[in-house]
Copies of this chain bind each other. A is one copy, B any other.
C-alpha cells in the first residue's frame, strides 16, 4: 500500500504532563506537523507554544477553545490528551469536523458518551483510536503471536490489573491541576481499565466474533488515601518529585506549606475487582488498585485449555511443549522466541517514546492509518467498549455487585466481523501485513 498523505497536519488538545510529553515526541516525527494546540490553562498553553517554537522555529495556532482549531478545515487528525471527562466530547467534535481522532486512554462516565463516539464515527466515517500503548508492548504483541499459533489451545480466562501506588500523584494532583484527584474523591469504579483490558480484548477477538457480555464489580472501603495523608505529606514517588521540581519550581514548595489533606474523604474504593464475561464463554478479571502502599504488579494472566502465562510468577506452561508436566517454566525465553514482527521492527525506535517505547509505536500505528486513510487498528468499537467498563463498573458497585450488561456497540456487526487472522495481520493492524 502507498500513502494517500505523505505529511499530516495535526492538532493537540490537552497539554498537561501527558499531553506535553506526547507532543514533544510527535514533534520529532518528520511526517507529522503540529499546526494547532489547545488547553484551558494559560500557563500550559504558553509552555506548549514555546516548545513548538523551539522545536520547529514556527509559531503554532494556540487557543483555549479547541473548536477554533477544528474550524480551520485543513486538519488530518486530532490528538486528545485532556482530562478523562473531555475525551469523548473533543473526539466527537473532531470526527464531525472530518478528522481522524486519537484519544488518550481513560474510562467513560456514561454509556451515552460511548454511543456518541460510535454514532459520530459511523455517521462521518472518521475513525477514533484509543492510544492504548500497552497493546503495543512486547508482552501484548508476543501473546497475540502465541495465541494465534495455538499454544494456549482454546482461550478460557484472562486477567489484568492497574496496580501501583499513585497516592502521591492523586493527592498532589489537587495542587498541580491533575484531573485524577476529583475522580477518586467523587467516584467509585474501575476508573482506569484499558491498560490491562486492551491487550486482553485483542487476544480474545472482542468485537470480531466475540464481545463483552456482562460485568460485576466489587469495591473495598476507601482507606488508603486517608491513612497515607494522615501520616505523610511528602511525596516519595520519584516521578512525582521530579515533575514537581521541574514543572512547579517555585510554585509547589510554597503550596506544600499550606498543603493539608487531613480529613479529605475519598469515594473510590482502594481495590476494585471486576469480572467480565464474554460471549465466547471466557472471563476476564481486572484489578484497579492505586491508593495503597504497594509496588507494581500486573496481575496479567492468559489461560487456555493447553497453557497458561502468569506475569506475577514470571512463568509459563504449555501442555506437550513444556518439558515437565505440571511444572512451570520461566516465561522470558518464550517472549523472546515469539517476539512479534512489529516489535522487532520498532526496536530501533524504542528510545524515542515514553513507557519503554510503546508510546512511540502506538502513535506510529495511528499515524500510519491516517497517512493511508484507512481504519485504525484500535477502532471506535474497541474504544467505546473498553471505555464503557468504567461506567458499567460504577453502576455495578453502586448496586452491590449486580451484573450489568455491555451494550453491543457494533449493533450486531461483531458476529461477522473478521477476526484477526493468524499469519496475516498483526494486532488487527489491518493495513500492514506483517505476517505476509
Contact = CB atoms under 8 A, between A and B. Distances in A.
A153 B297 contact: no
A294 B275 contact: no
B317 A154 contact: no
B283 A219 contact: yes
- The A interface is mostly helix, strand or loop, or mixed, namely loop
A86 interface: no
A402 B326 CA distance: 34
Contacts of A175: none
Contact of A157 (B271, B283, B317): B271
A401 B214 contact: yes
Q: Is the interface on chain A under 10, 10 to 19, 20 to 34, or 35 or more residues?
A: 35 or more
Given A165-B326, A216-B403, A218-B283, A227 B292 contact: no
Given A156-B224, A281-B220, A326-B236, A295 B317 contact: yes
A115 B246 CA distance: 63
A306 interface: yes
A223 B155 CA distance: 9
A227 B305 CA distance: 7
Given A303-B271, A326-B237, A277 B401 contact: yes
B157 A220 contact: yes
Interface in A281-334: 281-283, 285, 289, 292-297, 303-308, 310, 312-313, 315, 317-319, 325-328
Given A310-B312, A312-B310, A216 B275 contact: yes
Given A282-B220, A401-B403, A327 B271 contact: no
Contacts of A325: 236-237
A218 to B, nearest CB: 4
Contact of A216 (B218, B306, B313, B315): B218
Interface in A210-238: 214, 216, 218-221, 223-224, 227-228, 236-237
Contacts of A133: none
A138 interface: no
Contacts of A400: 214, 277, 403
Contacts of A306: 227, 293
A239 B321 CA distance: 21
A268 interface: no
Name, among A216, A310, A315, the residue most crowded by chain B CB atoms within 10 Å (CB to CB): A216
Contacts of A327: 295
A65 to B, nearest CB: 40
A98 B233 CA distance: 60
A223 B293 contact: no
Nearest to A215: B401
A219 to B, nearest CB: 7
A154 B223 contact: yes
A295 B315 contact: yes
Nearest to A228: B305
A221 B156 CA distance: 7
A295 B403 contact: no
Going nearest first, the 3 A-B pairs with the smallest beta carbon separation are: A221-B281, A293-B319, A401-B403
Given A273-B275, A295-B315, 17 more contacts: A156-B223, A156-B270, A157-B273, A165-B326, A214-B400, A216-B216, A218-B275, A223-B281, A236-B325, A237-B326, A271-B283, A292-B303, A293-B317, A295-B326, A295-B327, A297-B313, A402-B402
25 contacts: A153-B293, A156-B220, A157-B270, A164-B326, A214-B400, A214-B401, A218-B277, A220-B282, A221-B281, A223-B305, A227-B305, A237-B326, A273-B275, A273-B285, A292-B303, A292-B308, A293-B305, A293-B307, A293-B317, A295-B308, A296-B326, A297-B315, A312-B313, A401-B403, A402-B403
